[in-house]
Amino acid sequence: MSNINNQTQDLFALDTVQDLDNETAATCSGGVGFLFGPDPDVILHKDPNGQGQPLGVNAATGDGVPNIGLINGQETTFNDQVSSITIKRGSWNFFGDDNYRGQSTGVLAPGTYNLGANDDAITSAFRVAP
Ligand SMILES: [Ca+2]
Residue 95 β-bridge partners:
104, 124
Residue 74 belongs to a domain: yes
85 CA to centre of ligand 1 in angstroms: 15
Ligand 1 is an ion; its neighbours by CB within 5 Å are 80, 96, 121, 123
Residue 92 alpha carbon to ligand 1 centre in Å: 17
**Residue 29 alpha carbon to ligand 1 centre in Å:** 27
Q: Is residue 9 part of a domain?
A: no
Is 100 part of a structural domain of the chain? yes
**CA–CA separation, 17 and 99 (whole Å):** 29
Range of the domain at 121: 22-129
Q: At 101, which CATH number?
A: 2.60.20.10
User: For 71-122, what is each residue's pLDDT tens digit?
Assistant: 877 889 999 999 999 999 999 999 999 999 999 999 999 999 999 999 999 9
Tell me what the mean pLDDT of segment 47-66 comes to: 96
pLDDT for 18: 44
- How many domains would you assign to the chain? 1
Structural domain contains residue 17: no
- How big is the chain by its Cα radius of gyration, in Å? 18
pTM (two decimals): 0.76
